[in-house]
Amino acid sequence: MAILDKTPTKGLFNVLVWFPVLALVLVGALMYWRRVYRELPFFFLFVISALLLGLLRYIGLKLGHDVYFYFYWITELAAAVPVALALYEIFLRRLFPSFQKVRFYRNLFPLAAVTIFLLTVITALQSSDKHAALVTASHGADFVRTAVLVFFVALMVFMGRQWKRYDFGIALGFGLQAAVALADTAVGFKFHNPPPLLTKIDVIVYDITCIIWLITFLKPEKALVTDTADKRTAEDALRQAREWEEELKDFTSGKR
C-alpha cells in the first residue's frame, strides 16, 4: 500500500491505494474456500501479512506524517520475508521440488533473506540520514527479489518447463512489482523530483497485480500431465546443478 494522499482532490488516487485491500481479502477468501491455502501456505501467509501490514500503515498515518514514513518503510522491509517464502514455495517446492536436494538451491533463499537483513542493518548504522537508510535497504530487497525471479524464470525457459496456473499468476504479479520497483529506483537516481505520474505508477501496478492474483484463483488449477521426456529433462538439469555445486565448492575451497 502506497503513501496516502490526504488532499480531497486526490480521491481517485486514494481509491487506487485502498483497492488492493479488497482484492487481497477476496484472494484470501477464494484460497480458503477452495482449500488452496493447503497447497500454497506461504503465499496465503503473504496475503494475510499484506493485509496486516496495510493496517499498520493506516495506524501510522493517523499518528502523523513522520511516524507514517517509518511505518511505511519498515513494513516494506518486513514484507520481504513473506515474499521470499512465497517465491521459495513456487519455484523450489512446486516447480523444481527435486532441486531442494541440491544444497545451493536449498540455501539460496535463506542466504537472500540474511543478505537483505545485513544490508538493512549496515545501511542503518552507517547512515546519518535514517530516512535514506530505510529507502536504500528497501531498494536492496527489491534487487534481491528481482534477481531471484530472473534466475528461476530463465531456468524455466532453459528447461522448457510448463507453468501451472497458480504458479504463473503468482510469479507474474511479483515480477511486475519487481520491475516497477527497479524502475522507481532508476528514476529516483536520475530525477530529484520525478514527475507526479511516475510516483503513482507503483500504486497502479500493485492494483494490476492484485487483479491478476484475483483472476488466478477464480478457477481451480488443473493438474498437468508430466511425460517421460519432461522427467528426463528435470533429472538432467538436476545432475547439471549438482555438478555446478561441486565446481563452486572446489573453487571456494581453493582446489581450483
Please name the residue that has the C-alpha cell 517509518: 70
Grid cell listed for 48: 494475510
Q: Taking the domains of the chain in order of start, what are their residue ranges?
A: 8-248
What residues have CB less than 8 Å from 32, skipping those under 6 apart? 44
The predicted pLDDT at position 233 comes to 52
Q: What is the reported pTM? A: 0.73
**Cell numbers linked to 53:** 501490514
pLDDT tens per residue, range 80-123: 888 888 988 888 888 877 766 667 666 766 676 676 666 666 66
**Are residues 205 and 176 in contact, defined by beta-carbon separation less than 8 angstroms?**
yes
pLDDT score at 42: 94
Region 8-248: CATH code = 1.20.1070
- Higher per-residue pLDDT: 246 or 43: 43
- Helix, strand, or coil here: 233? helix
How large is the average pLDDT for residues 68-84? 80
Amino acid identity at 94? R
Distance of CA 249 to the CA centre of its chain: 29
How far, CA to CA in Å, does 120 sit from each of 70, 108, 116, 127, 241?
A: 14, 18, 6, 11, 31
The mean pLDDT value of the chain amounts to 74
Report the distance separating Cα 148 and Cα 159, nearest Å. Answer: 17
| Predicted pLDDT at 214 | 94
pLDDT of residue 116: 64
Three-class secondary structure of residue 129 per DSSP: coil
Q: How confident is the model at residue 188 (pLDDT cuts 50, 70, 90)?
A: low
Query: In 3D, which of 70, 77, 68 has the Cα closest to residue 49?
Result: 77
pLDDT digits (tens, 9 = 90+) for 61-70: 788 777 777 7
Q: How far apart are CA 226 and CA 224, in angstroms?
A: 6
The mean pLDDT of 208-227, rounded to a whole number, is 81
Q: What is the pLDDT of residue 228?
A: 44
In this prediction, residue 227 carries a pLDDT of: 42
